Structure formats: structure tokens, C-alpha cells
Amino acid sequence: ATLLPSADCPSLRAIEVSAANTDFSSVDGVLFNHTGTDILWFPLGKTGTFTLPSTVTKIGENAFAGTGITGLVIPPTVTEIGRGAFAGSALEEISLPDNMSNISEGMFQGCAHLGTVRAGSGTRYVGNYAFDGTALADLYVGATVPPFVAAEALVNGSTTLPQTCVLHVPAGCKKIYRNHKSWGLFEHIEEYKP
């Protein structure tokens, strides 16, 4: 069985699934696959901060798209987040796990209130339009080797992130980021201790 999250239910706060269902399950009103490893749909009407269960290893495409949550705690078990997973949501800040390698295409596109993203040490790739339409002021990249940046990854509306956002990199890594063809475009690069 499959489903596609719907933007037509802005007041929906919970999704309940029968314990007998062999395809899906629900925890705290959130829809998962039967084993609870993949989050499939987060109700649009749920607000505040949400903590994902430690059983989760994957966040599906568009799973949080358009939701009202302002914060999300992602467990270190998560290794994959689908395209557009948080697009258009009310997220203000987020930290991605160290063992997640890809910031997928359009992951945060249209998150107008998103001011801070912390990408983990395992980050290897940033997809197109990942941060387009955000209020991103601080981007922390925990990788000591600069991740590959897709051609349109640093686009943000009519400007680019290097003009408006501070890039924070691990202590001792400023020079390698400054000399990178994409990351080096950031006007402000600061070191931090992860």
C-alpha cells in the first residue's frame, strides 16, 4: 500500500492506524510503515516540537511538508531523509544526524522561518534548492571534508546563501572550506568546536 501526504488537511492533528494493519502503524498520531522505521506522514495540524522515536531510520519524501512544527528532534538512527521532506514547514531550527550523508533536493525549500541548520559530520552532498526560500542565517556543516554542492544548492530566492548566511565549519577547517569552489563563496566563514 502507498499514500501521498496531502496539503488538503491543514487541521489534521493525528492519524490512527489499527494494530491489525500490516502496512502502516501510528505513534502519537504520526504515520509510519508497519515496523516503525520509516516516517511517512506527519499531520499538518500538529505544532510545536516533535521528537522522532529511535526506531526511525528514514524520513520519507514530503513527510513533513507544510507542517506547523517549529522544531524536530531527529535520532542518530536516521540515515536518510527524502526530497522535500520539510518543504514549506514552520521549522525554525534543525540538527541533522552525523551518520546522514545527503541533504536532499529541496529538503527545506520554502521554510520561511528556518534560521539555523546543523548538518552532521557525515554530510557528503547538498542537493539543489535545499535551502531556497528560507531565512537561513547560520549553516553549520560538521564535515571536515567539504561536501559536494549541486549547482543550485546555495540558491535562496533572488540571492544566494553565501551573501546572506554565516557558514560555520569545524575548528581547523576554515582554510579548506575557503579554498573550495562553492563553499569558498561564503563571505563569512567561522570555525566552531562540534
Q: pLDDT digit string (tens) for 21-62?
A: 777 888 777 888 888 899 888 888 888 999 999 999 999 899
What sign has the CA pseudo-torsion 81, 82, 83, 89?
A: negative
Place of cell 556543516: 141
Residue 112 has pLDDT above 60, yes or no: yes
Report the pLDDT value the prediction gives residue 4, as an integer from 0 to 100. Answer: 47
In angstroms, the Cα distances linking 151 to 129, 162, 176, 182, 183 are: 9, 14, 19, 9, 12
Report the pLDDT value the prediction gives residue 125, as an integer from 0 to 100. Answer: 98
pLDDT tier for residue 164 given thresholds of 50, 70 and 90: very high
Which is higher by pLDDT, 6 or 124? Answer: 124
Distance (Å, rounded) from C-alpha 56 to C-alpha 32?
A: 9
Mean pLDDT of all residues in 135-148? 98
Report the pLDDT value the prediction gives residue 163, as an integer from 0 to 100. Answer: 94
pLDDT tier for residue 185 given thresholds of 50, 70 and 90: very high
Residue 160 neighbours by CB under 8 Å, 6+ apart: 154, 185
Measuring CA to CA, which residue among 90, 82, 85 is closest to residue 10? 90
In angstroms, the Cα distances linking 25 to 20, 55, 82, 86, 91 are: 9, 12, 19, 21, 25
Distance (Å, rounded) from C-alpha 192 to C-alpha 26?
A: 39
Percent of the chain exceeding pLDDT 90 equals 73
pLDDT tier for residue 179 given thresholds of 50, 70 and 90: very high
- Cβ-in-10-Å burial (0-12, 13-18, 19+) of 71 comes to middle
Query: What contacts 24+ positions apart, CB below 8 Å, involve 176-185?
Result: 176/144, 176/145, 176/146, 177/141, 177/146, 180/146, 182/146, 182/149, 182/153, 182/154, 183/141, 183/146, 183/149, 185/154, 185/160
Place of cell 514530503: 62
